[in-house]
Amino acid sequence: MIKSIKTFDLKEKRVLVRVDFNVPIENDKVVDDFRIRAALPTIQFCLNAGANVILMSHLGRPKGEIVPEMSLIPVGESLADLLEMPIKFSADCVSEDAHDVSLGLYSGEVHLLENLRFYVAEMQNDPDFSTKLAKHGQVYINDAFGTAHRSHASNVGVTRNFTHKGMGFLIEKELQYLSSAVKNPRRPLTVILGGAKIDTKLDLIHNFIGKADHILIGGGMAFTFLQAQGKDVGNSLVDPARLNTAKKVMARARGKSKLVFPKDIVCAESMKNRHSTGVYNAGKIPDKLMGLDIGPESINRFSQIIRESGTILWNGPMGVFEVNGFHKGTLAVAQDMAEVTGSGTTTIIGGGDSAAAVNKFGLMKKVTHVSTGGGASLELLSGNTLPAIYSLEI
């Protein structure tokens, strides 16, 4: 059993919260505060309960080095604006000064610690580092779903130092949709998969064969399946090492789940050279061209299935949506999902590039749930245990 933050008496307690503030920063400013906003319900609940809150997070991959460009100072400024209150900040997450600030907090105050990954001990799940982090709080709450698939000091090691530990509202919500809702979905259940690499999605495909009514496959990963069927995919992205695996997946799915592949493909010589752009049959792509998006016939087929679904899970774009001209397949899926959400369909975006896409198209608030963790959501949906979630079990 994992305790919810709602079960604790937090009044005048120091609550150490692991959050995921790994957000994009440009010119010392946060340019996308989605993950910061996602943590606000938990932070605000602590403050309303009379707690003092210590927040810890990583940012980027400094690999144990102090990298000024990866400081959490801009995040602290953004958080202060969102909370409409000043917050305290420590330039070292485990220094004596940082501990003194945490110990001296009054109820209703917030203390943000500097980037955890400035210490390599964080990624090594070092027990001494975990103990130093634990000194900040009396109650530990994990609300960083985006790192739940990692065994690090701040989300796994630190839990051994707490009798009172549990999950925040964000993790609770993620588990509700990515675990519970998918176990008992409203039918038909449709899984939409895309992105470049097939290997990162194999466990997920295997987990949903026999569970999903339809599995729609687009993006770069589709070409490995198409070539495994003996089709000409030109210069498109293919993983030769996974061709036999793709054949086995298709054989295993027969009679259990309907695998749906693109019928037509938007092609060009490259993402940069778009003069040769055209739509080709998915099995007859010219040698010098590569597939960069699903075509209009494929969009119509995918759209039809989406509109007939009761639950939809989407992980991975249909094409290179960041480049104008190769975005239409991803945009169409996002728009269709937003539309059916209004009609009662449960629509779940599995983080990563899919989340970036719905955000870019301004549709984030028009689907049921957008996960904050790409890798973590993939692991969970693949049926794997998340170390940071398991460590909260009591």
35 counts as catalytic: yes
DSSP 255: T
DSSP 5: G
187 counts as catalytic: no
Kindly list the distances between the CA atom of residue 347 and the CA atoms of 64, 109, 172, 314, 321, in Å, as whole numbers in the listed order.
38, 37, 17, 8, 20
Do residues 109 and 86 make contact, with C-beta atoms less than 8 angstroms apart?
Answer: no
DSSP states of 124-167? TT-HHHHHHHHTT-SEEEE--GGGTTS--TTTTGGGGG-SSEEE
Among 35, 117, 132, 165, which one carries the catalytic annotation? 35
Residue in 125, 143, 155 with CA at minimum distance from that of residue 21: 143
231 counts as catalytic: no
Among 197, 252, 256, 360, which one carries the catalytic annotation? 197
Q: How far apart are the first and last CA of the chain?
A: 6
In degrees and rounded to multiples of 5, residue 316 shows phi and psi of 110, 130
Neighbour count for residue 203 (Cβ, 10 Å): 15
Residue type, 265: I
Cα dihedral 96, 102, 106, 110 in deg (nearest 10)? 130
Neighbour count for residue 366 (Cβ, 10 Å): 16
Residue type, 378: L
Give CA–CA dist 83/80, Å, rounded. 5
The number of C-alpha atoms within 13 Å of 332 and in the hemisphere containing its C-beta is: 24
Among 50, 108, 283, 375, which one carries the catalytic annotation? 375
The alpha carbon of residue 269 and the mean position of all alpha carbons in its chain are separated, in whole angstroms, by 31
Do residues 225 and 261 make contact, with C-beta atoms less than 8 angstroms apart?
Answer: yes
What is the total residue count of the chain? 394
- Would you call 3 helix, strand, or coil by DSSP? coil
By annotation, the residues acting in catalysis are 35, 197, 352, 375
